[in-house]
Chains A and B, each alone.
Chain A
Amino acid sequence: MKYIPPLNFSPVVSTDVSLYRSGYPMPLNYSFIKHQLHLKTIIYIGDKDRPLEEYQSFLESEKIKYYHIFMDSSRDEGIQERMNQVLHLVLDVRNYPILVHSNKGKHRVGVVVGIIRKLLQGWSTAGICQEYGLFSGGMKDGVDLEFITMFETNLKIPRNVIPGFAKHCLYLNELEAAEGSDDESGSESILTAKQPI
């Protein structure tokens, strides 16, 4: 038996939870997803309104939760809110294993993974640019990389469902935020990303 991963497939996080990235899954990839990944959630970042019929039936038969976050490019209006939606989904450990995919797994998923690397894992910008370039083939990287570096957010997340790979960075962010304000609720973590002056 041979399994065929989707286009531009790669694990993003594989320590305590599993987060994968890829292009759009085709029917020849369904057996790989079924037997190898054991997904609980699929997040589609793209511009197709409705999934393919066979994809829809595959999701229903495997009982995989499907979320569609519309994104045409990183210059869309309302892109901030949609990235926050993705972060909320990724920061809930009950949703794992997760596959985040776009149509080709290049630019839109690259932006989402770049934001995850920056905010939740504390990667350097050079490392984020290098990883983005690996999947995009070095094309069309200027606007997306500027969007990743300029992205800021302020989310409140329940503390008990944060996955392990993100706890360290969130803890450090909380330390920095606590220096400014003394009021701190015990049940929630504040994810704050500010640009250094």
Chain B
Amino acid sequence: MLVPPANFGIAEEGIYRCSKVETLNLSFLETLNLKTAIFIGGQEPSKFFKDFFTRSSIKWIVLRMSDFSAAAVPVKSSSVSNANLYSNNNSTLSLQEEKKKSTANGSQNSTTGDPVIQEELAYHLTDNDDLMLIKSTCLKRTFKTLLNVDNYNVLLVDKTALVIGILRKIQKWNIASIINEYRLFSGKNRNYFAETFLEIINIEIEQEKDNKTIVDNKAKKLPLENNRTHSIEYKANSGKLIRVNEDDLCREPEVPQRLLTLINQIETKVKNNKVLQVSGVLGDDLKKTSSDLGIFGHRYRLAFNKKENGDYGYYKARGKDNVKIRIPCDSELPDWFRFQRDLWEKENVPEEHHFYREHIFT
């Protein structure tokens, strides 16, 4: 008999959620083909689950919702050693946050035109606040793991049911629908301050660039080797068993859809320019730069700098005191996230094309 965990649900493709796991649910969890389990709120897996995770090569992460000092934690079990790693990150992150806060205070002093009205406008949410139910450090580590497709399938064990609410906030859901979904999964444990926290918190996203993937892969391997030698050997063996058929080698290489869409956009714009030139009417861009046309002439090329650098309007949040989280580069993001982001960009952000000159001496 398969028994799902309490408040089990599928948040997105590759992300499962529940409020807690018990030994009764173990056989059900085997059917999910999990790769990662994230425990939020300080509840740790029991001995049976640790054995199950080790046996199934599942990586588990225990994240606490508030900071703690590394000195008070004894070095005994593996989960605590995981906590030690994260506590070291805590100290560096807290220093960076203090620097950011000082610069933010400086900017606030300069921008305050009407101090009374500005202060009354919004409630400022900081880590020291009791309303900050999940601290920003926990959110950063959670979403870095949650939005990386290498960690899928992920099981998120969250008694508060708030992490998925914040994910919906990132996905630009309506606040009424976020609260409604929160109430579905929290049941009688719903909390008015949790709903207020979901409404007030703002998430700003910073996407990594493709250059860092090699470094990240190297960094990821080290903690795995330290903690689980048996699982790594298993993975190494399974990694070598890639089957390559002659038919696969004979196929033509697949061109990524992203390049195809770019080529189509360029071709359509070139056609439009040709039509304008044939009809004898110059476009606005060409009219403005007619004085620059010399003997050799100038040509212009479309530059797609913003999206290639990970600069999206979807990632920005209004207001101050935003929680900044870093997400992986485009190739490691899940498909549903990229689809929703690009759809939102198409509807809300006007396209900007930066033209630059290219000298061709022909």
Contact = CB atoms under 8 A, between A and B. Distances in A.
Interface in B132-177: 174-177
Given A172-B117, A196-B318, A126 B174 contact: no
B63 to A, nearest CB: 25
Q: Contact size class for A?
A: 10 to 19
A127 interface: yes
Interface stretch (A5-13, A91-99, A143-151, A159-167): A143-151
Contacts of B196: 124, 126-127
A130 interface: yes
Given A149-B176, A150-B174, A197-B318, A125 B199 contact: yes
Interface string A10-21: 000000000000
B57 to A, nearest CB: 41
A197 B174 CA distance: 10
Nearest to A195: B174
Contacts of A180: none
B189 interface: no
A125 B121 contact: no
Interface string A128-170: 0110000000000110011011100000000000000000000
A126 B121 contact: no
B286 interface: no
Contacts of B195: 126, 129-130
Most buried by B among A129, A149, A172, A196: A129
A72 to B, nearest CB: 21
A172 B199 CA distance: 20
A146 B180 CA distance: 9
14 contacts: A125-B179, A125-B199, A126-B199, A127-B196, A130-B195, A145-B176, A145-B180, A146-B177, A148-B176, A149-B176, A150-B174, A196-B318, A197-B318, A197-B348
Given A124-B199, A146-B176, 15 more contacts: A124-B200, A125-B175, A125-B176, A126-B192, A126-B195, A126-B199, A127-B196, A129-B176, A129-B179, A145-B179, A149-B174, A149-B176, A172-B121, A196-B318, A197-B348
